[in-house]
């Protein structure tokens, strides 16, 4: 097995940031050699409900318009927020406008409490997983351009048709490790996002996800200046240590940790920077860790 870095995406929770600041980070990520950017999808930021936040698909469209190469997507959309016919149309529009750079990450709701709070649904986990499966089936049907006939527990469609179809297929990203979720990954997804704290189960679960490619989300504390690094890492551990493993250290150490993820079979890493991806940090990370030119 050759040593290759996994594909790197920037995961950027779009809270407490202006749209200009988000675009600035997206441009910096593109310059740093990052492959894509993904936004979260909530009606209020988790654990920070009173902070400002922008809507994920609208923001992804805006970022796509301000970048040239960067893939744009979500980690992940909440299925219950959108009717599948509306989501199918939105996804095709972003895919066409971006020149084929959109990826649809979708799930059945990682913060269940927000669903009844905003009057979305009181459905339990089993019902939401079932609805997600139905949504995925309908998305694929609408994207054929043929009339769709569907009579399911959540949606009834009577010969509806949507055009245009995606000129470039829209990759589906689904995260999770439960058996019902893995069945959806196997049937519908190009990417499977495994919770990083379950990485030791990657080999055991791989045969349950078909051809879907494994990814993980990983927090990273990057400080190029060795004198400033201990304080930055201590602050990051204090603020984010409970959220999972933290990528720390100098460039060689961080690169080696990314390479190790690749050796374990991870093909993409969504990096969540503990400084909310300051543009200078992104460019520095790109030069020193990813080997980007410039």
End-to-end CA distance of the chain: 29
Instruction: Give pLDDT, residue 245.
Output: 87
Q: What is the pLDDT of residues 37-57, one digit of tens each?
A: 999 999 998 888 889 999 999
β-pairing, 156-160 vs 148-151, is antiparallel
Is residue 123 within 8 A of residue 153, CB to CB? The reply is no
- Find the range with the poorest average confidence among 47-51, 60-64, 166-170, 248-252: 47-51
Q: Which of 1, 10, 2 is nearest to 289 (CA)?
A: 10
DSSP class per residue in 114-128? HHHHTTS----HHHH
Output the CA torsion 53→126→199→201 (10° steps): 180
Instruction: Give pLDDT, residue 110.
Output: 84
Is residue 238 within 8 A of residue 291, CB to CB? The reply is no
Q: What is the pLDDT of residues 14-29, one digit of tens each?
A: 999 999 999 999 999 9
Q: Which of 35, 22, 20 is nearest to 213 (CA)?
A: 35
* Token code pair at residue 286: 């790109």
pTM to 2 decimal places = 0.95
Question: Could you tell me what percent of the chain has a pLDDT over 90?
Answer: 90
Instruction: Give pLDDT, residue 48.
Output: 81
β-pairing, 36-39 vs 213-220, is unpaired
Is residue 175 within 8 A of residue 75, CB to CB? The reply is yes
* Token code pair at residue 147: 């009339």
Query: CA-CA distance, 281 to 258, in Å (whole number)?
Result: 17
DSSP class per residue in 180-215? HHHHHHHHH-SEEE--GGGGGGHHHHGGGSTTPEEE
Domains by residue range for the chain, with CATH? 7-290 (3.20.20.30)
Mean pLDDT of 234-253: 90
């Amino acid at each position: 097995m050759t040593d290759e870095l996994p594909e790197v995406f920037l995961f950027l929770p779009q809270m407490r940031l202006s749209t200009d600041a988000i675009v600035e980070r997206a441009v910096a990520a593109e310059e740093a050699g990052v492959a894509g950017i993904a936004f979260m999808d909530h009606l209020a930021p988790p654990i920070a409900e009173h902070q400002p936040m922008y809507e994920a698909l609208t923001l992804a469209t805006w970022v796509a318009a301000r970048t040239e190469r960067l893939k744009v997507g979500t980690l992940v959309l909440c299925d219950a927020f959108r009717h599948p016919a509306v989501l199918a149309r939105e996804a095709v529009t972003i895919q066409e406008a971006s020149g084929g750079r959109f990826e649809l990450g979708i799930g059945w709701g990682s913060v269940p409490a927000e669903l009844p709070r905003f009057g979305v649904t009181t459905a339990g986990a089993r019902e939401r997983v079932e609805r997600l499966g139905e949504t995925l089936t309908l998305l694929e049907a609408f994207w054929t351009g043929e009339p769709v006939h569907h009579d399911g527990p959540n949606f009834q469609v009577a010969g509806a048709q949507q055009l245009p179809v995606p000129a470039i297929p829209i990759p589906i990203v689904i995260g999770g490790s439960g058996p019902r979720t893995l069945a959806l990954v196997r049937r519908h997804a190009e990417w499977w996002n495994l919770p990083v704290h379950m990485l030791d189960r990657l080999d055991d679960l791989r045969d349950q996800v078909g051809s879907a490619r494994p990814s993980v989300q990983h927090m990273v504390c990057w400080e190029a200046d060795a004198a400033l690094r201990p304080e930055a890492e201590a602050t990051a551990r204090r603020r984010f240590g409970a959220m999972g493993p933290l990528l720390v250290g100098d460039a060689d150490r961080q690169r080696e940790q990314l390479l190790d993820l690749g050796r374990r079979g991870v093909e993409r890493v969504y990096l969540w920077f503990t400084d909310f991806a300051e543009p200078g940090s992104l460019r520095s990370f790109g030069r020193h860790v990813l080997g980007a030119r410039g």
